[in-house]
């Protein structure tokens, strides 16, 4: 059985876990170590490129993932793009979570608007499909 490796900034929800096990058929779900989670949540916007900055992620993937494993990649667009290419080159299956979004808008004093967004997991989708 294959595993699902998580590279994203949110908590993995019970709905996502159920979906991963039934839809993808994974036996285990593997989170990044805390130091990588911290890096992923803080991609430096001032860097002209990300390849060097992504080295710890490349190393973690190479060390832990096996061909046929799934890898959930979501976050900074450029970093995600590069990791999807890296994962695909190692015969991993990169996926992202799709959601249904509900928005509520409240008009406040002085022309301000408060927005509240609620997201509900729908499914995982393979990149490129």
Task: Write down the pTM of the prediction.
Answer: 0.87
The total number of structural domains that make up the chain:
1
Of 115, 108, 107, 67, which Cα lies nearest the Cα of 91? Answer: 67
* pLDDT tens per residue across all 129 residues of the chain: 899 999 999 889 999 999 999 999 999 999 999 999 999 999 999 999 999 999 999 999 999 999 999 999 999 999 999 999 999 999 999 999 998 988 899 999 888 999 998 889 999 999 998
- Return d(Cα 124, Cα 94) in angstroms, integer: 10
- Return d(Cα 46, Cα 31) in angstroms, integer: 27
Range of the domain at 57: 3-126
Cα–Cα distance list, 82 to 20, 40, 112 (Å): 23, 13, 37
Q: What pLDDT, on the 0 to 100 scale, is given for residue 117?
A: 84
Q: What pLDDT, on the 0 to 100 scale, is given for residue 113?
A: 93
Q: What pLDDT, on the 0 to 100 scale, is given for residue 75?
A: 95
Q: What pLDDT, on the 0 to 100 scale, is given for residue 118?
A: 86
Cα–Cα distance list, 71 to 2, 56, 66 (Å): 10, 16, 10
Q: What pLDDT, on the 0 to 100 scale, is given for residue 79?
A: 97
């Amino acid at each position: 059985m294959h595993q699902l490796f998580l590279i994203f900034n949110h908590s993995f929800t019970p709905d996502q876990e159920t979906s991963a096990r039934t839809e993808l058929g994974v036996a285990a779900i593997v989170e990044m170590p805390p130091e990588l989670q911290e890096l992923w949540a803080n991609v430096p916007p001032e860097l002209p490129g990300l390849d060097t900055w992504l080295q710890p992620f490349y190393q973690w993937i190479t060390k832990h993932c096996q061909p046929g494993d799934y890898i959930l990649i979501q976050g900074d667009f450029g970093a995600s793009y590069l990791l999807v290419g890296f994962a695909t080159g190692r015969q991993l299956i990169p996926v992202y979570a799709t959601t249904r979004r509900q928005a509520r808008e409240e008009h406040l004093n002085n022309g301000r608007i408060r927005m509240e967004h609620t997201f509900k997991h729908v499914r995982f989708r393979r990149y490129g499909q």
